[in-house]
Amino acid sequence: MSTVPSAPPVREVRRAHRDPDDQLIGGVAAGLAHHLAVPVLWVRVGFVLAAAAGGIGIAFYAGLWVMLPASPPRPAAPPGLESASRDGRRPRHRPRVRDAGPIVALGAVGLGLLFVLGGGATWVWPVAIGIVGVALLWRQADEAQRERWLDATGRVDISRVVLGRGGWAAYARLAAGAVLVLGALVLFALRGGSFSLARDITIATLLGVAGILVVAGPWVYRLATELTDERAERVRTQERADVAAHLHDSVLQTLALIQKNPADASRLARAQERDLRSWLYSGETADERTVASALRAIAADLEDRWGIAVDVVAVGDRDLGEGERPVVAAAREALTNAAKHAGVDRVDVYAEITDDSLDVFVRDRGAGFDPDATPEGRLGVRGSIIDRMARHGGTAEIRSGPGEGTEVRLHLSGTTEEAEQ
């Protein structure tokens, strides 16, 4: 059997992200949990255990915080939904962590650690204060970056980047961070006696420089990598969303009304509405790369050709390979039969597509027929549906009776790989 060699599967690169919607500190654990597909609690416990074991967890967390991009690249929603979201017309997803509880708990844990570790040693306090200062500065930069994304004018303003939207909180944080870093340096310098002063100050300066590098380095790094596509993406989606909002207000609403009139306008209205709807809302494609999209493409074709409405509901999906094609072809034949002979203006298609089976149901409420009394000469049903399915290891069942409508059930079991062999 000569089959067209299918294209090699494209390897998708999975990238980890921080999750700003589900954060206790930086959203690192939530992002990592999502990436590794494990419960977020395990990751958090792991970090805590690693932090207790010599602090490697803290270093690891900090490193990931620096390196991971802030939020996953959201797949662009259809423009109508983008627009409705920006206008606040859609149900909003509420952030899970709202109260100050986690922050208080984190603070308490940090203080406790300080007391446990720093019982006697004098160096602990300056270092701890320094770390808090750097953390505050870092967090400031982190939030400023998010503010930058929300900037409507699209220009990058340095003061905006540092201070976010401004306000006393931002200034206070900036000042507190700076004071804490400076304080750490001063404390460190004063601690030593006169003979070690020079060396201490050198070390302190080095620490300060390192701190600034830690703060600014990743920011510059991320700015360079993300700025360009962020801006392009924002401009593009806003443009599309505004057009979409306009179309929704005018064309789509009108079409929905026209469609109810049983005039000749209904066929045109249906085609137009389907196009607009898929562009505006559903984000479903009809590019025939997957089973569901192939069924939708067939439905659209038959809607145009026969002037009926075909409602496709698909649960799950998988790629359209050689193994699935007979089912799609049989479904097409069943739909064509329904359009030709049933004499109704609406047909339902339901597909349930899992990894190990594929079921398609085509149902109409039309004239119906007696399946046993089909004349020998009529080969559509037997050849194109039943025999085709049987040849490819599936089954087809036709339930119909005069006046009861018709339902064609197509079933194919086996995974994609099995079906291809």
Question: Which residue of 157, 311, 319, 417 would you call a contact of another protein, by CB under 8 A?
Answer: 311
Report the C-alpha gap between 53 and 141 in whole angstroms.
29
Question: Which residue of 30, 33, 84, 342 would you call a contact of another protein, by CB under 8 A?
Answer: 84
Q: Tell me how far the alpha carbon of residue 391 is from its chain's centroid.
A: 39
Question: Which residue of 259, 337, 384, 406 would you call a contact of another protein, by CB under 8 A?
Answer: 259
Strand order in the sheet with 394-401: 309-315, 346-353, 357-364, 405-413, 394-401
Report the C-alpha gap between 158 and 262 in whole angstroms.
61
* Binding status of residue 87 toward another protein by CB under 8 A: yes
Question: Which residue of 26, 27, 31, 78 would you call a contact of another protein, by CB under 8 A?
Answer: 78
- Closer to another protein by CB, 78 or 323: give it: 78
Question: Residues 176-195: x/- map of binding to another protein (CB under 8 A)?
Answer: --------------------
Report the C-alpha gap between 140 and 181 in whole angstroms.
14
Minimum CB separation of residue 29 from another protein in Å reads 16
Question: Which residue of 92, 98, 155, 391 would you call a contact of another protein, by CB under 8 A?
Answer: 92
Q: Tokens in use for 222?
A: 């991320």
For another protein, how many residues bind (rule: CB under 8 A)?
A: 39
H helices, E strands: number in the chain:
16, 5
Determine how many CB atoms are found less than 10 A away from the CB of residue 377.
Answer: 5
Q: Tokens in use for 172?
A: 């206070």
Residue 19 has, within 13 A of its CA and on its CB side, a CA count of 16
Question: Which residue of 24, 77, 97, 214 would you call a contact of another protein, by CB under 8 A?
Answer: 77
Listed ranges 121-129, 144-152, 276-284, 371-379: which one lies at the site for another protein (CB under 8 A): 276-284
* Binding status of residue 275 toward another protein by CB under 8 A: no
Minimum CB separation of residue 81 from another protein in Å reads 6
Q: Tell me how far the alpha carbon of residue 191 is from its chain's centroid.
A: 52
Question: Residues 382-411: x/- map of binding to another protein (CB under 8 A)?
Answer: -------------------------x----
Amino acid symbol at 239? E
* Binding status of residue 302 toward another protein by CB under 8 A: no
Question: Which residue of 44, 277, 325, 411 would you call a contact of another protein, by CB under 8 A?
Answer: 277
Q: Which residues from 326-385 bind another protein, rule CB under 8 A?
A: 348, 350, 352, 361, 363
Listed ranges 130-138, 139-147, 205-213, 272-280: which one lies at the site for another protein (CB under 8 A): 272-280
* Binding status of residue 273 toward another protein by CB under 8 A: yes
- Closer to another protein by CB, 50 or 247: give it: 247
Place of tokens 């494209």: 10
Under a CB-based contact definition with an 8 Å cutoff, are residues 180 and 130 in contact? yes
Minimum CB separation of residue 87 from another protein in Å reads 7
Listed ranges 126-134, 176-184, 232-240, 245-253: which one lies at the site for another protein (CB under 8 A): 245-253
DSSP state of 87: T
* Binding status of residue 88 toward another protein by CB under 8 A: yes
Question: Residues 152-171: x/- map of binding to another protein (CB under 8 A)?
Answer: --------------------
Under a CB-based contact definition with an 8 Å cutoff, are residues 83 and 242 in contact? yes
Q: Tokens in use for 39?
A: 């419960």
* Binding status of residue 249 toward another protein by CB under 8 A: yes
Under a CB-based contact definition with an 8 Å cutoff, are residues 222 and 145 in contact? yes
Report the C-alpha gap between 66 and 60 in whole angstroms.
10
Determine how many CB atoms are found less than 10 A away from the CB of residue 173.
Answer: 18
Which run of H or E residues covers position 201? helix 197-247
Torsion sign over Cα 336, 337, 340, 343: negative
Report the C-alpha gap between 149 and 155 in whole angstroms.
10
- Closer to another protein by CB, 9 or 91: give it: 91
- Closer to another protein by CB, 22 or 151: give it: 22
* Binding status of residue 90 toward another protein by CB under 8 A: yes
DSSP state of 118: T
DSSP state of 21: G
The residues binding another protein (CB under 8 A) are: 77-78, 80-81, 84, 87-93, 248-249, 252-254, 256-257, 259-260, 273, 277, 280-283, 311, 313-317, 348, 350, 352, 361, 363, 407
